[in-house]
């Protein structure tokens, strides 16, 4: 990866590829007659443009994987909609339309050991994807294209790799095959669900660099889902922080890291071990964990762990507010500093 | 933090562990030597397949077939661990050293409350009246930071972080001299990880036990360990005080590893990682095991196996440092 | 960024299921296991006998010209029957029908098991409940009485009916196991990947799910074949098969009808009985290999001394 591959500011005229509108997904717990619902995500409004890598960061249970699966069509939304280039995805009926969408917005999965079928050669998924999404290609054309795809993801010599079985490849190589499968569909936006979490540390960088290269060379946007803020910073333009099914904060990645507005973001940043930072003094140990959101009421879901919580936080669910240029947070207590002078306010008096 | 007592608590000398497979023995741990002093926190870092967990299990004498210690010595408080049998080991287990595993869910009994399990663990090694056992387990829970309201919970009712804390409480039940931990935080989220690490460090200061902490996450352990050992392909390639290994990594693998961690502070810069993959332990490369991936390789590297060479306070297994 | 080609990552633990494609798995599984090899050899022996029957058997099995109840001798290796037929020739030719029944019924039962078990797992919901109920009913039906009733009720005693009866009573056991495995596979990421790239459900079941269940399916096939051998023998012995056909089971029927044991010709009973047991054992031995593949915990730890 070169300096040219580093995240850049998206073009001013970049079109919007995908937008979620109040996207909601609830899971019923128990049998048919149960009234207990697990709130996977509630009221999510996200947008992704061309030439953009958006990182969706959160701990387990925050809903980030649920969003990916909603966008990919694996889950059906309980409420809300997903717009692809302005058109509702829920309305897609014919197989051709659905296939078209699946090709434009494919997904790359987390588990390099489970994402490839062990009984077929690694080229199987790529060939199938080509067969389904590139009907214009002949058999010879598919073969050539498969080789080109393997080269594009850094698996050279491509011809050698086509015939291998998954057990013959390392974790990093298998993930690259996953990217090649996604590329086969000529995508606009790739949903990458924790693509490097299960890889060795020294291999992760290679795959992250691949994402940046694909963005620059093939002009593909990414929704990069992860729990690792450091890797999100490395590769993404915008950062969206999720907590317990809601978006807590969203904005340009450097701005969010330098000026975190939501108390959860601040907590997250303070907890990330940074090898280059000096050793910090022990702080108050924090025992609580993110809640399982079952039939929650109104109110901010972070209030139990928040050092700044006020009375309003338990009554009214905070909505995203613009606090800095292009930078929003859903918090009653955070102050706006469009003039760049203030940090997060102290608790307001009731 | 580094003890000044003369004899180290644990001494591992040229330990080798083999897995007996259909294709012959595969050496998972190759001539590893290290020492841990009283009260010291030793971090062992490496990626998958480097042998760090196998090493840990070998030291704790928890290996089962097809893995076995094929040669080498492990001396713990003057006892020769390798030659002791199960009966003799039982006297040492939990009292003098204990183990914390990676996944608490696999180690905790799902049908017993955690307090009861703790009481059982203590009671197995020390005779105490039941009321005293209960009091002790409550005390331990409090020490590791588990809320009293969770005392009578079952493991599945607790969060991941709390289960790990329960494991640590169990490991500390008899105040051992050495606690061996195999990636206890890898299943936890970042915030839970940090608070658990802080708690471990605090307990270590309070009780003075030594720790061997195995992880793949170098940045995590670097804040807490006194000394750091880096493993690759079954061998220790670098070992020294954490600050030295961190501020000035010497072995090319350590250097590469350091370059694989993106930072959230400082300028954004492209990182290279390390090209290639770890070797097949069944057919390791000739000479230095890292040479096929090393950016500073030269001719000697593929012919001879490097020994440890000293540079300041570090030991480095690399010919670059052979003066 | 160039990545070095890594040819073979050794996994120090035991081998992964289905590494080398479907045929490779089966071949590898069978040859690596001594019990399975023994079973395979035995089965191969029977197969050879069935194919080369006209060459091996010294006489026409139906020929009635020899002396009755002759003891085993040079001319008649296993003696003759009550009606003067050569037992050895009957045994050899009988191999054909017995083998055919075993394999056909085994295959039929396996196919139904797969269809019911995998559909139940994949469709889920109400269908799953219905198919499960269906399977459970057949599972608990007492097989022998059922076979007797069906066999008696259907006056046609031909081979097809025999096979059908065995299939009806034999498919449910396998369906349960297949459903379990299909369920566990359902959430594997490569299936999600297949759905995500737009594959149709039927394609996914046939080309993605089933190939990953090969070991279990083959094991169930051999189990069903084993069941078929014994069931067919049982049915034919009590007279529910076609007494005019030639198989080991019908040989037993006639031997019993003629009081062979009392008349001092135990070989007439023992020979077919032994063959039935041997073929069954062959299938059981072959199945050891597949048990061990699907359940690594059963693998023996091989120590090099």
Of A219, A239, A259, the last residue of a domain is A239
Q: What is the mean pLDDT of residues C207-221?
A: 89
Given CB atoms, is C25 within the 8 Å cutoff of chain A? yes
Q: Are residues A178 and A60 in the same domain?
A: yes
Cβ distance of A287 and B195 shorter than 8 Å: yes
Place of tokens 């590829």: A17
Q: Are residues A116 and A221 in the same domain?
A: yes
Write the CA distances from B74 to B89, B175, B216, integer angstroms: 13, 21, 24
Query: CA nearest A169 in C: which residue?
Result: C6
Phi, psi of C49, deg, nearest 5 = -60, -45
Of A198, A219, A239, the last residue of a domain is A239
Q: How confident is the model at residue B1 (pLDDT cuts 50, 70, 90)?
A: very low
CB-based contact C147:C235 (threshold 8 Å): yes
Q: How confident is the model at residue A190 (pLDDT cuts 50, 70, 90)?
A: very high
Distance of alpha carbon B216 from alpha carbon C278, whole angstroms: 55
Flag whether A337 is in a domain. Answer: no
Distance of alpha carbon B315 from alpha carbon B220, whole angstroms: 22
Show residues of chain C in contact with B281, CB under 8 Å.
10, 12
Q: How confident is the model at residue C224 (pLDDT cuts 50, 70, 90)?
A: very high
Flag whether A259 is in a domain. Answer: yes
CB-based contact B142:B119 (threshold 8 Å): no
Tokens of C75: 């001319």
Q: How confident is the model at residue A287 (pLDDT cuts 50, 70, 90)?
A: low
Cβ distance of A272 and B190 shorter than 8 Å: yes
For B244, counting Cβ atoms within 10 Å of its Cβ (0-12 exposed, 13-18 middle, 19+ buried), the class is middle
Q: Are residues A180 and A256 in the same domain?
A: no
Nearest to A102 among C190, C197, C212 (CB): C197
Q: How many CA atoms lie within 13 A of A292 on its CB side?
A: 10
**Residue C86 per-residue DSSP state:** B
Cβ distance of B275 and C2 shorter than 8 Å: yes
Q: What percent of chain A has pLDDT over 90?
A: 42
Q: Are residues A190 and A65 in the same domain?
A: yes
Flag whether A340 is in a domain. Answer: no
Range list of H helices, B172-237: 190-207, 218-222
* Nearest to C57, CA basis, from C81, C85, C90, C84: C90
Q: In the predicted model, is pLDDT for residue A282 greater than 70?
A: no
* Probe site for chain A from C7, C187, C190, C205 (most A CB atoms < 10 A): C190
Q: Are residues A227 and A284 in the same domain?
A: no
Tokens of A302: 């972070």
pLDDT, tens digit, 9 for 90 and up, residues B93-143? 888 889 888 877 777 888 888 888 888 888 887 788 888 888 888 888 888
Q: Which of residues 208-247 of C touch A (CB under 8 A)?
A: 208, 211-212, 214
Nearest to B202 among A171, A205, A282 (CB): A282
Q: Are residues A32 and A56 in the same domain?
A: yes
Which region, left, alpha or beta, applies to residue B43 given φ > 0 means left and ψ of -120 to 50 means alpha? beta
Give the pLDDT of residue A187.
94
Show residues of chain A in contact with C5, CB under 8 Å.
157, 160-161
Flag whether A339 is in a domain. Answer: no
Q: Are strands A238-243 and A53-57 parallel, antiparallel or unpaired?
A: parallel
Place of tokens 């980030």: A64
CB-based contact B35:B73 (threshold 8 Å): no
Given CB atoms, is A116 within the 8 Å cutoff of chain C? yes
Distance of alpha carbon A175 from alpha carbon A128, whole angstroms: 17
Cβ distance of A201 and B268 shorter than 8 Å: no
Q: What is the mean pLDDT of residues B299-322?
A: 88
Q: Are residues A319 and A266 in the same domain?
A: yes
Sequence length of chain C is 305
Tokens of A307: 């050092």
Show residues of chain B in contact with A283, CB under 8 Å.
198
Given CB atoms, is C305 within the 8 Å cutoff of chain B? no
Tokens of A229: 């803020």
Given CB atoms, is A107 within the 8 Å cutoff of chain C? yes
CATH of the domain at A194: 3.40.50.300
Distance of alpha carbon A249 from alpha carbon A333, whole angstroms: 13
Cβ distance of A98 and C208 shorter than 8 Å: no
Q: In the predicted model, is pLDDT for residue C23 greater than 70?
A: no
Q: Are residues A80 and A110 in the same domain?
A: yes
Distance of alpha carbon B203 from alpha carbon B139, whole angstroms: 13
Lateral strand order in the sheet of B10-21: B24-36, B10-21, B67-76, B79-80
CA dihedral C46, C51, C56, C61 (to 10 degrees): 100
Q: Are residues A134 and A30 in the same domain?
A: yes
Give the pLDDT of residue A277.
61
Give the pLDDT of residue C302.
44
Q: In the predicted model, is pLDDT for residue A10 greater than 90?
A: no
Q: Which of residues 142-201 of B touch A (CB under 8 A)?
A: 145-147, 159-162, 189-195, 198-199, 201
Number of cross-chain residue pairs from A and C with Cβ atoms under 8 Å apart: 100
Given CB atoms, is C126 within the 8 Å cutoff of chain B? no
Phi, psi of B231, deg, nearest 5 = -115, 145
Flag whether A304 is in a domain. Answer: yes
Show residues of chain B in contact with A202, CB under 8 Å.
47, 256-257, 260, 273-274
Nearest to C301 among B24, B66, B275 (CB): B66
Cβ distance of A118 and C19 shorter than 8 Å: yes
Show residues of chain B in contact with C301, CB under 8 Å.
20, 65-66
Given CB atoms, is A171 within the 8 Å cutoff of chain C? no
* Nearest to B57, CA basis, from B15, B112, B119: B15
Q: How confident is the model at residue C257 (pLDDT cuts 50, 70, 90)?
A: confident
Flag whether A350 is in a domain. Answer: no
Query: CA nearest C303 in B: which residue?
Result: B20
Cβ distance of A160 and C25 shorter than 8 Å: no
Predicted-assembly ipTM surpassing the 0.90 threshold: no
Beta strands in chain C (DSSP E): none
Tally of domains in chain A:
2
pLDDT, tens digit, 9 for 90 and up, residues C172-195? 888 988 998 898 888 788 888 888
Cβ distance of A167 and C3 shorter than 8 Å: no
Cβ distance of B277 and C6 shorter than 8 Å: yes
Average pLDDT over chain C, rounded to whole? 80
Q: Are residues A253 and A275 in the same domain?
A: yes
Cβ distance of A170 and B260 shorter than 8 Å: no
Sequence length of chain B is 323
Flag whether A348 is in a domain. Answer: no
Q: Which of residues 85-124 of C touch B (CB under 8 A)?
A: none
Write the CA distances from B20 to B28, B55, B249, integer angstroms: 10, 16, 35
Q: In the predicted model, is pLDDT for residue C160 greater than 60?
A: yes
Over its C-alpha atoms, chain B yields an Rg (Å, rounded) of 20
Q: What are the DSSP calls for A92-149, one per residue? A: --SHHHHHHHHHHS-EE-S-TTTSS-TTS-THHHHHHHHHHH-TT--HHHHHHHHHHH
Give the pLDDT of residue A2.
55
Q: Are residues A62 and A211 in the same domain?
A: yes
Q: What are the DSSP calls for A165-219, one per residue? A: -GGGS-HHHHHHHHHHHHHHT--SEEEEESTTTTS-HHHHHHHHHHHHHHHHHH-
Show residues of chain B in contact with A9, CB under 8 Å.
none
**Residue B6 per-residue DSSP state:** S
Show residues of chain B in contact with A208, CB under 8 Å.
262
Which has the minimum average pLDDT: A277-286, C112-121, C286-295?
A: A277-286
Which has the minimum average pLDDT: B25-39, B206-220, C207-221, C259-273?
A: C259-273
CB-based contact A194:A225 (threshold 8 Å): yes
Show residues of chain B in contact with C304, CB under 8 Å.
20, 24-25
Range of the domain at A73: 3-7+15-239
Lateral strand order in the sheet of A16-29: A36-49, A16-29, A79-84, A87-88
Q: Are residues A204 and A277 in the same domain?
A: no
Query: CA nearest C6 in A: which residue?
Result: A169
Over its C-alpha atoms, chain A yields an Rg (Å, rounded) of 21
Please tell me which chains touch C, using 3 or more CB pairs under 8 Å as the contact test. Answer: A, B
Q: What is the mean pLDDT of residues B215-222?
A: 85
Query: CA nearest B221 in A: which residue?
Result: A273
Of A201, A216, A239, the last residue of a domain is A239
The model's pTM: 0.81
CB-based contact B17:B69 (threshold 8 Å): yes
Given CB atoms, is C297 within the 8 Å cutoff of chain B? no
Q: How confident is the model at residue C7 (pLDDT cuts 50, 70, 90)?
A: very low
Flag whether A169 is in a domain. Answer: yes
pLDDT, tens digit, 9 for 90 and up, residues B171-210? 888 889 999 999 888 778 888 888 888 888 888 888 899 9
Which region, left, alpha or beta, applies to residue A326 given φ > 0 means left and ψ of -120 to 50 means alpha? left
């Amino acid at each position: 990866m070169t300096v040219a591959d580093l995240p850049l500011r998206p073009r001013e005229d970049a079109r919007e590829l995908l937008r979620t509108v109040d996207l909601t997904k609830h899971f019923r717990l128990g049998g048919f007659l149960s009234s207990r619902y697990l709130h996977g995500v509630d009221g999510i409004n996200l947008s992704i443009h061309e030439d953009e890598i958006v990182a969706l960061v959160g701990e387990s249970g925050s809903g980030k994987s649920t969003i990916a699966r909603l966008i990919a069509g694996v889950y059906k939304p309980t409420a809300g909609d997903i717009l692809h280039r302005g058109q509702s995805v829920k309305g897609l009926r014919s197989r051709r339309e659905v296939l078209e969408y699946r090709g434009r917005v494919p997904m790359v999965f987390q588990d390099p050991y489970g994402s490839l079928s062990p009984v077929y050669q690694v080229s199987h998924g790529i060939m199938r994807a080509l067969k389904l999404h590139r009907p214009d290609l002949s058999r010879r054309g598919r073969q050539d294209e498969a080789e080109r795809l393997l080269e594009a993801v850094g698996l050279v010599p491509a011809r050698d790799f086509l015939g291998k079985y998954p057990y013959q490849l390392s974790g990093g190589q298998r993930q690259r095959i996953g990217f090649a499968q996604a590329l086969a569909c000529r995508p606009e936006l790739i949903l990458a669900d924790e693509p490097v979490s299960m890889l060795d540390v020294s291999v992760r960088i290679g795959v992250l660099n691949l994402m940046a290269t694909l963005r620059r060379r093939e002009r593909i946007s990414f929704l990069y889902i992860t729990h690792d803020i450091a890797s999100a910073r490395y590769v993404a333009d915008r950062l969206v922080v999720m907590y317990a099914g809601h978006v807590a904060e969203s904005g340009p990645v450097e701005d969010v890291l330098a000026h975190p507005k939501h108390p959860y973001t601040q907590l997250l940043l303070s907890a990330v071990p940074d090898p280059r930072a000096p050793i910090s003094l022990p702080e108050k140990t924090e025992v609580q964990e993110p809640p399982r959101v079952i039939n929650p009421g109104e109110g901010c879901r972070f209030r139990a762990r928040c050092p700044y919580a006020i009375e309003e936080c338990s009554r009214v669910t905070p909505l995203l507010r613009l606090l800095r240029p292009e930078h929003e947070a859903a918090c009653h207590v955070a102050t706006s500093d469009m003039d760049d002078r203030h940090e997060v306010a102290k608790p307001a008096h009731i | 933090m580094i003890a000044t007592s003369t004899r180290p608590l644990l001494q591992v000398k040229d330990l080798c562990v083999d897995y007996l497979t259909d294709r012959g023995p595969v050496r998972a741990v190759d001539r590893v030597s290290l020492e841990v002093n009283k009260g010291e926190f030793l971090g062992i870092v490496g990626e998958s397949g480097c042998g760090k967990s196998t090493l840990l299990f070998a030291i704790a004498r928890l290996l089962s077939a097809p893995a076995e210690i094929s040669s080498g010595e492990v001396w713990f408080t003057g006892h020769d661990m390798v030659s002791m049998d199960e009966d003799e080991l039982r006297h040492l287990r939990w009292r003098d050293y204990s183990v914390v595993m990676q996944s608490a869910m696999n180690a905790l009994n799902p049908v017993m409350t955690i307090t009861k399990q703790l009481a059982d663990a203590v009671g197995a090694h020390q005779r105490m009246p039941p009321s005293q056992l209960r009091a002790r387990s409550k005390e331990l829970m409090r020490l590791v930071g588990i809320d009293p309201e969770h005392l009578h919970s079952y493991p599945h009712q607790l969060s991941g972080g709390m289960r790990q804390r329960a494991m640590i409480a169990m490991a500390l039940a008899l105040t051992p001299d050495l606690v061996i931990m195999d990636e206890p935080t890898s299943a936890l989220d970042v915030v839970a990880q940090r608070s658990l690490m802080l708690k471990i460090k605090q307990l270590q200061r309070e009780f003075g036990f030594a720790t061997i902490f195995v992880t793949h996450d170098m940045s995590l352990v670097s804040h807490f360990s006194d000394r750091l050992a880096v493993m690759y392909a079954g061998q220790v390639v670098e070992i020294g005080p954490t600050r030295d290994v961190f501020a000035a990594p010497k072995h090319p693998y350590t250097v590469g590893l350091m370059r694989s961690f993106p930072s959230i502070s400082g300028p954004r810069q492209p990182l290279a990682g390390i090209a290639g993959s770890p070797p097949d332990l069944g057919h390791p490369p000739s000479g230095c095991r890292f040479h096929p991936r090393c950016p500073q390789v030269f001719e000697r590297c593929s012919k001879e196996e490097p020994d440890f060479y000293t540079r300041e306070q570090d030991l480095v297994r690399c010919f670059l440092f052979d003066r | 960024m160039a990545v070095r080609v890594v040819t073979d990552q050794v996994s120090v633990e035991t081998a992964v299921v289905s590494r080398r494609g479907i045929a490779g798995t089966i071949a590898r599984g069978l040859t690596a296991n001594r019990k399975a090899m023994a079973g395979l050899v035995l089965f191969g022996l029977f197969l050879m006998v069935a194919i080369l029957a006209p060459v091996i058997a010294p006489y026409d099995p139906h020929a009635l010209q020899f002396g009755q109840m002759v003891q085993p001798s040079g001319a008649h290796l296993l003696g003759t029957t009550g009606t003067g037929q050569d037992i050895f020739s009957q045994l050899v030719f009988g191999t054909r029908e017995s083998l055919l029944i075993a394999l056909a019924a085994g295959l039929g039962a396996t196919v139904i098991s797969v269809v019911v078990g995998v559909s139940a797992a994949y469709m889920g919901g109400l269908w799953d409940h219905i198919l499960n109920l269906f399977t459970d009913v057949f599972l608990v039906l007492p097989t022998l009485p059922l076979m007797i009733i069906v066999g008696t009720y259907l006056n046609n005693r031909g081979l097809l009916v025999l096979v059908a009866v065995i299939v009806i009573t034999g498919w449910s056991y396998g369906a349960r196991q297949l459903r379990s495995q299909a369920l566990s596979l359902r959430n594997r990421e490569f299936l999600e990947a297949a759905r995500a790239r737009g594959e149709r459900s039927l394609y996914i079941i046939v080309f993605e799910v089933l190939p990953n269940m090969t070991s279990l399916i083959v094991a169930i096939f051999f189990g069903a074949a084993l069941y078929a051998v014994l069931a067919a023998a049982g049915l034919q012995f009590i007279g529910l098969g076609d007494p005019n056909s030639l198989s080991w089971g019908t040989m037993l029927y006639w031997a019993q009808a003629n009081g062979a044991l009392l008349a001092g010709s135990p070989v007439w009973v023992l020979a077919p009985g032994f063959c039935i047991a041997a073929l069954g054992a062959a299938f059981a031995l072959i199945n050891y290999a597949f048990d061990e593949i699907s359940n690594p915990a059963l693998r023996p730890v091989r120590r090099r001394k």
